């Protein structure tokens, strides 16, 4: 957001957009890093970029009001949230969620249909590596993200779907990625 603020201030003051070199110099970063920042702002919908130089256009988005939550396609198992692939971003009003970091995931089956989470819905997940009994969570299991209700019993973790067609999973250990805090559905 600092980059977006710098661009907005430069446009307001000079009446034209700063060059990549100017942005890089201001932040003390490389041109490549600056380009990456600009691309992130573009993907999040804050700016448009045309093919010629000094071609950044600020899109009228209230940046202070929105979070842009990444939609995750794949995860690998090397760190807490090892994002392998970001498909896009979802703009979410900050008032809807508490503080913390979030990601979104597209549901690929109907394993949670009895909780009103259906195939092709997007779930919003607050990143945390813990859960309470009965929480609906995202877990990493055998390299895949899975959405299930979690229960803790003695030395086992039980992952329960909310569809009788899906079997209950019992494991000694699962990697909890976060707790489901919202659902977005397209009609």
| pLDDT, mean over the chain | 81
Note the pLDDT of residue 79.
41
Note the pLDDT of residue 86.
67
Within this chain, do residues 88 and 146 fall inside the same structural domain, yes or no? yes
Q: Does residue 64 form part of some domain? A: no
Within this chain, do residues 49 and 123 fall inside the same structural domain, yes or no? no
The stretch 147-158 carries a mean pLDDT of 94
d(CA 120, CA 147): 13
Which tokens sit at 84?
A: 């392998």
Note the pLDDT of residue 77.
43
Label residue 156 by pLDDT band (50, 70, 90): very high
pTM score above 0.75? no
Within this chain, do residues 83 and 167 fall inside the same structural domain, yes or no? yes
Chain segment 78-130, per-residue pLDDT in tens: 444 445 556 677 877 767 777 778 888 888 888 999 998 998 899 999 989 99
* Contact call for residues 100 and 127 (beta carbons, < 8 A): yes
The domain spanning residue 141 has which CATH number?
2.10.109.10
Within this chain, do residues 54 and 81 fall inside the same structural domain, yes or no? no
Strands 66-75 and 83-93: antiparallel
d(CA 76, CA 145): 10
Note the pLDDT of residue 147.
94
Label residue 183 by pLDDT band (50, 70, 90): very high
Q: Does residue 47 form part of some domain? A: yes
Environment class of 158 (CB within 10 Å of its CB; exposed 0-12, middle 13-18, buried 19+) = middle
Q: Does residue 63 form part of some domain? A: no
Within this chain, do residues 138 and 85 fall inside the same structural domain, yes or no? yes
Query: How many residues make up the chain in this entry?
Result: 187
Task: Say if residue 76's pLDDT is above 60.
Answer: no
Chain segment 18-75, per-residue pLDDT in tens: 888 888 999 999 988 888 888 888 777 777 766 655 566 666 545 445 667 888 765 5
Label residue 164 by pLDDT band (50, 70, 90): very high
Within this chain, do residues 78 and 54 fall inside the same structural domain, yes or no? no
Within this chain, do residues 121 and 48 fall inside the same structural domain, yes or no? no
Within this chain, do residues 146 and 167 fall inside the same structural domain, yes or no? yes
Within this chain, do residues 85 and 170 fall inside the same structural domain, yes or no? yes
Which tokens sit at 14?
A: 């000079």
Note the pLDDT of residue 141.
86
Domain count, the chain: 2
Strands 66-75 and 102-106: parallel
Within this chain, do residues 78 and 139 fall inside the same structural domain, yes or no? yes
CB proximity list for 9: less than 8 A, separation 6 or greater: none
The domain spanning residue 12 has which CATH number?
1.10.10.10
CB proximity list for 17: less than 8 A, separation 6 or greater: 7, 10, 11, 54, 55, 56, 57
Owning domain of residue 82: 69-184
């Amino acid at each position: 957001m600092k980059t977006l603020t710098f661009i907005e201030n430069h446009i307001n003051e000079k009446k034209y957009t700063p060059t990549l070199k100017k942005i890089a110099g201001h932040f003390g970063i490389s041109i490549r890093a600056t380009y990456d920042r600009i691309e992130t702002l573009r993907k999040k919908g804050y700016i448009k970029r045309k093919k010629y130089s000094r071609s950044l256009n600020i899109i009228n988005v209230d940046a202070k009001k929105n979070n842009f939550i990444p939609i995750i396609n794949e995860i690998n198992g090397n760190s807490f949230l090892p994002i392998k692939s970001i498909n896009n971003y979802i703009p979410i009003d900050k008032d809807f969620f508490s503080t913390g970091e979030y990601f979104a995931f597209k549901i690929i089956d109907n394993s949670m249909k009895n909780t009103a989470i259906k195939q092709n819905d997007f779930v919003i997940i607050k990143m945390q590596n813990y859960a309470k009994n009965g929480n609906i969570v995202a877990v990493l299991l055998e390299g895949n993200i899975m959405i299930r209700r979690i229960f803790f019993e003695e030395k086992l973790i039980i992952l329960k779907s909310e569809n009788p067609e899906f079997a209950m999973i019992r494991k000694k250990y699962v990697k909890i990625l976060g707790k489901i805090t919202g659902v977005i559905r397209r009609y």
